[in-house]
A and B are shown apart, each in its own frame.
Chain A
Amino acid sequence: MSLLSVKGLSTEFRTERGVVKAVDDVSFDLAAGETLAIVGESGSGKSVTAMSLLRLIPNPPGRITAGEVVFDGRDLLRLSDEEIRAIRGDRIAMIFQEPMSSLNPSLTVGLQIAEPINLHRKTPWAQAMDKAAELLARVRLPDAKSRVKSYPHQFSGGMRQRAMIAMALACQPQLIIADEPTTALDVTVQAQILALLKEVTRAANSALILITHDLGVVARYADRVCVMYGGRIVEAGPAREIYARPRHPYTIGLMASVPRLDQEAGTRLVPIEGQPPNLANLPPGCAFAQRCRRAADRCHSERPPLVTAAPDHLSACHFHAQLQA
């Protein structure tokens, strides 16, 4: 049985230019202990999907219009505000891209890590603070014991992200959602933080949803992948399968457009021509059709459903059967 089962999730934003369907009919499952990467470019709906799971979409202008998010047997979209607050930071924790803006600058790091323990577990403050020091040591922050009393501005970017991971781990969540957790960090620190995140989630058997635009990060850390484009999932399956046998022209195009360290340099990249679609004004057919080399008339008029293209491998392309890279 899956830990998380998302079905038909749709989220809209009202803007001056009309209603934007940021997430449109997104469904996926996640098993305990599994790492799922949601990959996409800006505007693909990957972050809004993550925020929608925990109902963190500001309303107005945003609104979850349809779907269900069944976590551990309960539909999160039907819980009261109080019930969902009890889940956030306890059963499901979130890590954001910018640790500086998600930490409170006027409270010590230790206090912020201890807070969810005190709030959700009713652990007395003194013990919660000890636990905070333990957690900082677990995320291998140097001098963890004395760092409990530090403020976020005294930390480097990498240290802040370690503190965020410690906070996420505080209540031993079953699921951690990390939204571009290392995009703001340097390459060597990025590798440290992702390895740490993978290690601690594995040790606690927590599931991890990793939101990223980086195909390399996905390849190194994810078990399963959902590729998003124009607010929809266009391809989903096990990471190895998706990379070895992509079944959607967008995924194939993405892989051809990134330079790889292990390939002959000096060859030309094959870019995806054109621009990502305007979500306020999506074409009636496939959102990728305008940029797709293989697009036929049907692609411009008829939206391709997400169907099983191979065992455990979904694709939303009319011509998935003909795509064999």
Chain B
Amino acid sequence: MPSSKPDTVLEVKDLKVHFPVMAGTVVRRQVGSVKAVDGVSFDVRRGETLGLVGESGCGKSTTGLAVLKMIDITAGQVVFEGEDISGHDRSRMRPIRRRMQMVYQDPFGSLNPRMKVSEIVGEPLEVHGLAADRAAYDARVANLLDMVGLLPDMADRYPHEFSGGQRQRIGIARALALEPSLIICDEPVSALDVSIQAQVVNLFQELQERLGLTYIFIAHDLAVVRHISHRIAVMYLGRIVEIAPRGELYAKPLHPYTQALLAAIPIPDPEVEASRPQQIITGEVPSAMRPPPGCRFHTRCPQAMESCKTADPPLRDLGSGRAVACHLYEG
């Protein structure tokens, strides 16, 4: 049955997540659906970081939740370590979840304020029956805290006693508790101050090198994503519009949306900024309930052609790890 290459941790094929939109107070009926993720395919290799970038509503976080099966999949396949988990129910997901963990954006909302750090970090060990006795449990918690750069005596404190960056370290320690092979990080540094972001980004990289971890790194900040990812997928309105190794994506972005995103991000250097062409695309992301026909980006695309209004460009493989969904690169 396992068909995937041994170095592929995750394969996502034509994933769709549609949320029904209901209306009516007496008779509830479905009046439409939000196509949060609408046909997304990618794979993640062992030991690499795949960055998922895009603006709000592009479906990057929903993709992360769907891979973990924390929301229902409408269509498509999720193959994790050779096993198709698309149809798995809760009980069959349980052993899978040991190997797939999540780190959340909000270091304040994602930790239970009534639990001590030792309980937060150690809870997964208990749930999965991985600590033989109290001593083994304590030793493992101390070891996990040490791995993320926290002191062992912090184990008896509560989350409110920690700063944002330290809380994010606690969240990472918890994610590491079960020695997962894949960690999905959803905007893990965007709530942190600039000087603290770098500390946490470095921690992710150090842990990857030491433990051979695989990450899906979801964020809206392209500079951070480029820094940490080996490959990057750019999403727009529920689709991947471009996927490429990080060097190529930034050196030569192909999709007009990728180009627009890169141009929108200011570089922290006034000399560079002064000489940079300022191409700012107009408009905002349309509603995912009624995505535009044809290419979803055509309403904002500076290079849109007549065919873009009607024909939906598929994500085409250009070789050497690059793929783009744009009519400009056909034929």
- The reply to whether the CB of A261 lies closer than 8 angstroms to some CB of chain B is yes
A19 adjacent to chain B (CB < 8 Å): no
Task: Determine if A325 is an interface residue (Cβ-Cβ < 8 Å).
Answer: no
Q: Do residues A186 and B193 form an inter-chain contact, with CB atoms below 8 A?
A: no
Out of B165, B220, B247, B270, name the residue touching A243 (CB < 8 Å).
B270
B227 with A269: CB separation less than 8 A = yes
User: CA A42 – CA B267 in complex, angstroms?
Assistant: 21
- Check A195/B55 contact, CB under 8 A, given A219-B272, A261-B223, A262-B267: no
Q: Let me know if B281 is at the binding interface, CB within 8 A.
A: yes
| B266, A42: Cβ atoms closer than 8 Å | no
Q: In the complex, what's the smallest C-beta–C-beta distance from A278 to chain B, in angstroms?
A: 10
Residues of B within 8 A of A257 (CB): 194-195, 197-198
A residues 253-273 near B (Cβ < 8 Å) are: 253-255, 257-262, 265, 268-273
CB of B202 closer than 8 Å to a CB of A: yes
- With a CB–CB cut-off of 8 A, which chain B residues contact A42? 193
Among A240-257, those with CB < 8 Å from B are 240, 243-244, 253-255, 257
Residues of chain A within 8 A (CB-CB) of B246 are: 265
| A156, A214, A254, A260: the one within 8 Å of B284 (CB) | A156
* A213–B226 touching, CB < 8 Å: no
Instruction: Count contacts on A: residues with CB < 8 A to the other chain.
Output: 45
Contact check, A219 vs B273: say whether CB atoms are below 8 A apart. yes
CA distance A277 to B215 in the complex (A): 32
Is the CB of A239 closer than 8 A to any CB of chain B? yes
Say which residue of A41, A188, A214, A239 sits within 8 Å of B195 (CB atoms).
A41
Residues of B within 8 A of A275 (CB): 163, 165-166, 196
Contact with A along B249-276 (1 / 0, CB 8 A): 0100000000011111111111111000
Give the B interface residue count (CB, 8 A): 44
Chain A residue numbers with a CB within 8 Å of B227 are 259, 265, 269
- Residue B199 is within 8 A (CB to CB) of chain A in the complex: yes
Q: Are A261 and B271 in contact, CB atoms less than 8 angstroms apart?
A: no
* Contact partner, A269, options B163, B198, B250, B271, Cβ 8 Å: B198
Decide: A216 and B280 in contact? CB cutoff 8 A.
no
* Given A219-B268, A220-B266, A261-B265, A186 and B285 contact (CB-CB distance below 8 Å): yes
Q: How far is the CA of A265 from the CA of B222 in the complex (A)?
A: 12
Q: Let me know if B56 is at the binding interface, CB within 8 A.
A: yes
A260/B269 in contact, CB under 8 A: yes
> Given A189-B284, A213-B194, A269-B198, are A261 and B267 also a contact pair (CB < 8 Å)?
yes
Does chain A have a CB within 8 A of B201?
Answer: yes
In the bound complex, residues from chain B placing their C-beta under 8 Å from that of A192 are 280-282
From B163, B202, B269, residue with most partner A Cβ within 10 Å? B269
What's the minimum C-beta distance from A102 to chain B, rounded to whole angstroms? Answer: 20
Minimum CB–CB distance for A142 against chain B, Å:
8
Q: Could you say which of A253, A254, A260 contacts B267, with CB atoms under 8 Å apart?
A: A260
B-contacting residues, A146-202, CB 8 Å:
156, 158-159, 186-192, 195
Contact with A along B150-194 (1 / 0, CB 8 A): 000000000000010110000000000000000000000000011
Q: Is A217 an interface residue when CB atoms closer than 8 A count as contact? A: yes
Q: Does B4 contact A (CB under 8 A)?
A: no
Inside 8 A of A158's CB, which chain B residues have their CB?
284
- Give Cα A152–Cα B217 distance, bound, in whole angstroms: 34
CB-CB under 8 A from A219, the residues of chain B are 266-270, 272-273
Binding site for A on B (CB under 8 A): 55-56, 163, 165-166, 193-199, 201-202, 205, 220, 222-224, 226-227, 246-247, 250, 260-273, 278, 280-282, 284-285
The 3 closest A-B pairs by CB, nearest first: A216-B266, A271-B198, A257-B198
Additional A-B contacts beyond A219-B270, A271-B195 (8; CB < 8 A): A191-B264, A195-B280, A218-B268, A254-B194, A257-B198, A259-B223, A259-B226, A260-B268
